[in-house]
Structure 1
Amino acid sequence: MGISMAVAGMWVERWERQQQRYAVDREERFTVITDVVEYVTAGRPRPLLLDLGCGPGSLAARLVDRLPDAEIVAADMDPLLLELGRTHHPDAARYVDTVIGADGWTDDLGLDRPLDAAVSTTALHYLPEPVLLDTYRRLATLLRPGGVLVNGDHFPPGDASCAGITAHVGRRRAERTGGHAHEDWHAWWGAAARDPELTDLYAERARRHEAHGGNGPGEDLPLERHAELLVAAGFRHVAPVWRFGDSAVLAAVMGD
């Protein structure tokens, strides 16, 4: 089920454009996440990072550009996106095929020492709250003292009456920056399904999503609820470090 470098490059490029429709100021979000990791790992040789829901390696590639000495483990359940990452960003990370939140998923990571940082972007919102809490607890056991979890995602406001406002602000920002000019999620996947080099991987993806119930919309937990779950999971310090509309970057630090 290998993919040629040319085809992988084309599909990753289209993925990058497509994602601009959904992550407000996506590049700035990546930069902020990397800023946090840079701060936490300053002076540490060969920091170990975990990229949760890595997709085709978009965040891992940006992290390794800034932190070339880092070792990155990139985890996802999507065989098609993982193969795109392995082919287009082969030196960015060690890619691991696993279902985040499933029994034994952290064993699949093959970690040989505590993590300095775990990062994620637009990937954890689909987890039901009990699974999300368990995931946070497991990550707390994997991180070293002073290590950090950095999650960039959509977080609706705690006051549901303001949810429409924050979503509208984000959409308008995407329109001003040209994000809505690109194909959407469904168009990207529809086109990918028709590419002969991706047919087998797409079929395997469909089989897995059916087996695991797919990535549903999740519970749209507000940032404040995520913070409560992180504290319950063992993180000592939790704070948003960047926010625009309903898009935010949340940092949670383990106690020293």
Structure 2
Amino acid sequence: MGVGMETAGTWVERWERQQQRYAVDREERFTVISDVVEHLCAGRARPLLLDLGCGPGSLSARLARRLPDAEIVAVDMDPVLLELGRTHHADAARYVEAVIGEEGWTDALGLCRALDVAVSTTALHYLPAPVLARTYRTLGALLRPGGALVNGDHFPPDVGFCSDLTAHVGRCRAERAGDHGHEDWESWWRAVAAEPELADLFARRERSRPAAGGGGGNRHLSVRRHAELLRRAGFRHVTPVWQVGDSRVLVAVKG
């Protein structure tokens, strides 16, 4: 039995609030990503978008409002978050469960044409660096010429001192905004684990985590290193279009 609309709405709303602790100026970053996608898809009748690590559909929902004619495929490995998205943002996207970067993960997407844009926010940093490089190559193959990856995440500078400085600026910005008054990631997951309507999905999530997790992520990779990997994957133009602290929106356009 699926989760009810009211229950899904409650948990998605709480998710939105706790995520503000981790993404500096989160709503502005969503808006910038939407600006970029709208620009890249101008003149295309039914653009095809891929939301990587979609969670409960936060970015997909915003993109669907901005580009109502777009077809959006939203992929994540977490069955709990996907069910919340399918219920609360049902009309925003087609939701797919798959582990990004695993062998054959794109088969589950059911794509029948080239992507116009792939988007992501604070999701790809979980991939180990070799898996990230492979994922960039995969996305390069899925995108049409002139298509792009638009990624909002934390990208540190090359120099350690500068990295500490940008992180400090981001923390100060978040503290002034008062975002740290919300529940954090761990407390949200502890609370949702006690939700009876999600018990079966949560049990499946717990069973799948050991096989899907691990690897250490790629948070240490600088923005320059990301640009190098993207260019090797066939993205000719790579540039940040927005930054607060070390939170950036990085756009990579396929040659």
- Fold shared per TM-score above 0.5: yes
Structure 1 match to 2:184: 184
1:132-188 Cα distance to aligned partner (Å, 9 max, x none): 011000000110011010000011121122322221211111111121110000010
Contact 1:75/1:95 (<8 A) preserved: yes
1:3 is matched with 3
Shift of 1:217: 4.6
Q: Note if contact 2:117-2:150 (Cα within 8 Å) is conserved in structure 1.
A: yes
TM-score, normalized by length of structure 2? 0.97
Are residues 208 and 216 of structure 1, via their aligned partners in 2, closer, same or farther at CA, if it must alter by over 3 Å?
farther
Partner of 2:238: 238
Conserved 8 A contact 2:123-2:153: yes
Matched residue SS, 2:101: coil
Give the aligned length. Answer: 255
Cα contact 2:117–2:147 (8 A) shared by 1: yes
Deviation at 1:214, TM superposition (A): 4.8
Cα distance in 1 for residues equivalent to 2:131 and 2:215 = 13
Tell me, in whole angstroms, the C-alpha distance in 2 between the residues paired with 1:8 and 1:208.
22
Aligned to 1:132, the other structure's residue is in SS state helix
Matched residue of 1:106: which SS? helix
Match of 1:120 in 2: 120
Q: Per-residue deviation at 1:73?
A: 0.1
1:221 and 2:216 equivalent? Answer: no
Specify the alignment match of 1:26 in structure 2.
26
In structure 1, C-alpha distance between the alignment counterparts of 2:87 and 2:222, rounded to whole Å:
36
Return the alpha-carbon distance in structure 2 between the equivalents of residues 213 and 131 of structure 1.
12
Q: Distance in 1 between matches of 2:111 and 2:53?
A: 17
Counterpart of 2:142 in structure 1 is 142
Distance 2:243 2:234 in 1: 24
Q: Deviations over 1:100-131 (max 9, x none)?
A: 00000111110011000000000000111111
- In 1, the alpha carbon distance for the partners of 2:185 and 2:164 equals 21
| AA aligned opposite 1:158 | D
In 2, are the aligned partners of 1:209 and 1:215 still within 8 Å (CA)?
Answer: no
The offset of 1:216, in angstroms, is 4.5
**What SS does the aligned partner of 2:29 have?**
helix
Amino acid across the alignment from 2:145? P
Structure 1 stretches of 5 or more lacking a match? Answer: none
The CA distance in 2 between the partners of 1:14 and 1:84, in whole Å, is 12
Report the RMSD for the aligned CA atoms in angstroms.
1.1
What is the CA-CA distance between 1:219 and the residue it aligns to? 4.0
Matched residue SS, 2:105: coil
Instruction: Determine if contact 1:146/1:254 at 8 Å carries over to the other structure.
Output: yes
Aligned to 1:53: 53
Separation of aligned partners in 2, 1:221 and 1:65: 33
Give the C-alpha shift of residue 198 in structure 1. 1.6
1:57 Cα deviation after fit: 0.1
Instruction: Normalising by structure 1, report the TM-score.
Output: 0.97
Structure 1: how far apart are the matches of 2:201 and 2:193? Answer: 9
Per mean C-alpha deviation after superposition, the further-off stretch among 192-201 and 211-220 is: 211-220
Q: Distance in 2 between matches of 1:93 and 1:74?
A: 6
| 8 Å CA contact retained: 2:127, 2:218 | yes
Distance (whole Å) between structure 2 residues aligned to residue 191 and residue 220 of structure 1: 30
| Structure 1 position 161 matched with structure 2 position 149 | no
Contact 2:128 2:215 in 1 (8 A): no
Whole-angstrom CA distance in 2 between matches of 1:139 and 1:109: 12
**Uncovered stretches (5+) of structure 2, i.e. residues with no partner:** none
Q: What's the CA shift for 1:71?
A: 0.2
Q: 1:130: which partner in 2?
A: 130
- Cα displacement string for residues 15-65 of structure 1 (whole angstroms, at most 9, x for unaligned residues): 000000000000011011111110010010010000000000000000010
- Structure 1 distance, partners of 2:151, 2:244, is 14
Moved more, 90-99 or 195-204: 195-204
